[in-house]
């Protein structure tokens, strides 16, 4: 089931799982983001063992991409603004 859900070339899914784990275990993360990350990880862990269908996988990947976009907004964009070309 892992090969059916996560392709090797879909790097953003791998990155979103890593970011969800980071926000789930980080103590200073906001409660909402920690909750979304934990729910996303629980749904992704379900997807890795069972083929649950479309809407559940869409929900899990949407939640993980929300956490990834929050991380990009708060960590990556301020770093980019500091760099002057």
pLDDT, tens digit, 9 for 90 and up, residues 55-78: 888 888 899 999 999 999 998 888
Q: How far does the chain reach from its first CA to its final CA, in angstroms?
A: 45
pLDDT tier at 4 (50, 70, 90 boundaries)?
Answer: low
pLDDT recorded at residue 85: 65
pLDDT recorded at residue 14: 87
pLDDT > 70: percent of the chain:
92
On the CB side of 63, CA atoms within 13 Å amount to: 22
d(CA 27, CA 47): 26
pLDDT recorded at residue 42: 93
């Amino acid at each position: 089931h892992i090969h059916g859900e996560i392709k090797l070339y879909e790097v953003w899914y791998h990155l979103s799982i890593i970011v969800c784990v980071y926000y789930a275990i980080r103590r200073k993360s906001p409660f909402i983001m920690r909750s979304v990350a934990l729910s996303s990880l629980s749904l992704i862990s379900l997807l890795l063992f069972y083929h649950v269908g479309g809407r559940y996988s869409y929900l899990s990947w949407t939640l993980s991409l929300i956490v990834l976009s929050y991380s990009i907004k708060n960590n990556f964009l301020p770093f980019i603004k500091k760099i002057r070309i």
